Amino acid sequence: MKKLGMIVASISMVLTVITPSMTPNEVHAATNGDVVVNEVAWMGTTVDYNDEWIELYNNTGSAISLDGWTLNSTDGSPSINLTGSIPADGYYILERTDDNTISGVTADHIYSGALSNSGENMELRDDSGVLIDNVDAWHAGDNDTKATMERQDPGVAGTDASNWVTSTGSYSEGKGTPSSSSTSGSGSGSGGACTDTTEHLNQVSEAPDAINVYFNKCAMDQYADPGNEANYNVNLEDRLLKRINAATTSIDFATYEINLPKVVDALIQKASEGVDVRVIADSKDATDPHYVDRFKTMRLYVEEMVRGKDMVVGTADDIHVFSDSPMLAVEDTALRADHNLPSSPDDFPQRTIMVGNTEMTGYLFVEAEQQTDGTYYSPADQMHNKFALVDDKWVFTGSWNFTVTGLYGSEENMANGVLDGNQQHVVEVNSSELSSIYETEFNEMWGTSTLSPSTSDSNFGSRKTDNTPHQVTIGGKTVEVYFSAGDDAVGRMAELVKTEADLNTYFTIFAWSDQALVDELKYKWEGSYQDQQGTLTGFDVKGVFSSDFWNQWWSASIEMTGRTVTGSQNNPNIRWANAAPVYKDAEARKLHSKTMLVDAETNSDPTVIVGSTNWSTNGNDVNDENMLIIHDDAITNQFVQEFNARYIQAGGTVN
């Protein structure tokens, strides 16, 4: 009764101040800057240069009626009479001519009249004619890439050229960050992506059987179950360093790529303290233009580990490093000096070796799995794991590569602690049983359980066998674990969707080409496995795909949206008859997670699938990967909070 009384009292207070022309919680802005022009696609989109759009932003904590307001160019076109309202801290989208400009976003207003590419002087005025905001020119934006002009600070004048930038975000029709429609009653959640950048550590435990989940991007904790707010905007490097620095006996570290100096230094320090440190690092093709510079940098850091704290090869403080394909030392003296390495790597053996079909000569400093004739496998396949095992109890794993780009985005950002890297997740589990399973996998690649790896007994990729348990109970939670290649991890996902998904499936995915998995989801969605056939069943599907592969013919995004693209003629997609509400990501950088939620927010065994495995042939049958399937409503709810942020930012609607 107390809560009801408070509600009645609040309603009474509101009714005393509402005028006949206003609806509850709406006010008329009377101050310059209360509502601003926030983003302008003056150049149109990649679909059509006529598809121009404008975004307004409410810079206050109260909803504002826009009835009677105008947004006009001083040259007379466009001349727009606004209607409706804009919620507190929300957005209002204007699309030219029709509502087909921005996929998945319902326009708040349709206007006519073109924006000149040479510039406009736009004035936003309230219903009394008071000037609220003014944008006097196109201070940013790119007509070639169709990147919008974005305002940096709504509190700074729109006539300040330094307050505008060319957008680096992306949406289906170009580069920009258009909000979801946020008019009152639209049902679009917060009205846009969350903007909080403060680190939130809400669910962290050191107890046995603890499962801690970390997201490096924002999450929407208004979707949290009581007391279950997610950990978000987390510096993942800090969490990894915490685990490494606490090690007392052993660290097994498997990394696709590494160039974080603090992590390298921490591993070296632990080895110097007598902790057994083993590292498996993926080797790259040193001539691949995509990797040539990054692989040089990585090899320099790896050599630091191989030499240990005293920089002398073969002493007790050395870290033991092994790979799927051999590594030759970088000989550039300037680069070596940058890493405080000896000017020459000539204290390693100089060898001429056969790697795949290529003969290579250099200073061999990281050994690798050998073929029966003593030659080495090529680095074409990927040791794509990113996990650490600490003291035979902590498992630290996820989608995050231990790199500057993966977390910070740039060296400058790293120096300033700015988390502007790719979108990632990390799960750490305090379980000796799970750690033992991971160690079995590590040892299979290492070739032995000792500190020294075996070039003849090691097995990577498709040469591995399915030799680990696939289910453990951790603190009452059922956790499944699968490794690639060999365990058919993606096949288990397809089986789970087919036999255990009852009500919904949500996902964020970097690369998805596996046909069986998308077919099982199609059947859940519309009751048919056939191309362009099916009737909606009521099963709920939502998803976000990486923009890197949104238009690739092999991507599940093509099928789910019912499209046909160039390249699919010889390998026809099984298109969905009823396009699913799935979107291309709108992240500043890469959407890198590989996460699927099944029956989230229900009583039907909420489950989340996470790890390093992309849902593809390479991810399942070729690369070395790991995947966890966690059956737990609380953990799944934490992923829901992060999923909703990614989904709304991409243009989706959350009930």
pLDDT for position 154: 82
Residue with tokens 């924006």: 115
User: CA 429, CA 444: separation in Å to the nearest integer?
Assistant: 21
How far is Cα 259 from Cα 386, in angstroms, rounded to an integer?
13
Residue 590, judged by CB atoms within 10 A of its CB (0-12, 13-18, 19+), counts as middle
- The confidence score (pLDDT) of residue 588 equals 85
For residue 633, give Cα distances in angstroms to 21, 605, 607, 639. 46, 7, 7, 10
Residue where the block lists tokens 């609806």: 23
CB-CB neighbours of 37 under 10 Å: 22
List, as one string, the DSSP characters of 148-170. Answer: PEEES-TTS-TT-GGGEEE----
Maximum distance among all alpha carbons in the chain?
88
Q: Does residue 363 contact residue 331 with C-beta atoms inside 8 Å?
A: yes
Strand ranges, E, within 90-172: 91-96, 109-111, 122-125, 131-135, 149-151, 164-166
Rounded Cα gap, residues 609 and 596, in angstroms: 5
Give the position of tokens 């992240």: 587
In the chain, what is the straight-line distance between the N-terminal and C-terminal CA atoms, in Å? 28
- The whole-number pLDDT of residue 569 equals 58
Q: 433: closest CA among 392, 383, 387, 377? A: 392
Rounded Cα distance, 135 and 123, in Å? 7
- Cβ atoms of 406 and 426 within 8 Å: the answer is no
- Return d(Cα 520, Cα 399) in angstroms, integer: 24
Mean pLDDT by 10 residues, the chain (655 residues): 33 31 40 88 90 90 86 93 85 89 83 93 92 94 90 86 84 78 31 75 96 96 94 97 98 97 98 98 87 92 97 95 97 96 96 95 97 93 96 97 93 91 96 98 98 96 95 97 96 98 97 96 97 95 94 92 73 87 92 96 96 94 96 98 94 86
Contact status, residue 247 vs residue 270, Cβ threshold 8 Å: yes
Is the pTM higher than 0.85?
Answer: no
Alpha helices for 465-599 (secondary structure H): 489-500, 515-526, 556-560
Query: Tell me, what's the pLDDT at 189?
Result: 33
**Residue 109 and residue 131 in contact, taking contact as beta carbons nearer than 8 Å:** no
Residue type at 383? M
Looking at residue 193, the DSSP 8-state letter turns out to be -
In whole angstroms, give the CA distance from residue 269 to residue 279: 14
- Contact between 627 and 607 under an 8 Å Cβ cutoff? The reply is no
Domains and CATH numbers, the chain: 24-166 (2.60.40.1260), 464-650 (3.30.870.10)
Residue 171: count of CB within 10 angstroms of its CB? 26
Do residues 259 and 443 make contact, with C-beta atoms less than 8 angstroms apart? no
What count of other Cβ atoms lies within 10 Å of the Cβ of residue 121? 13
Question: How far is residue 216's CA from residue 80's CA, in Å, rounded to a whole number?
Answer: 40
Q: How high is the pLDDT of residue 193? A: 60
DSSP letter assigned to residue 622:
I
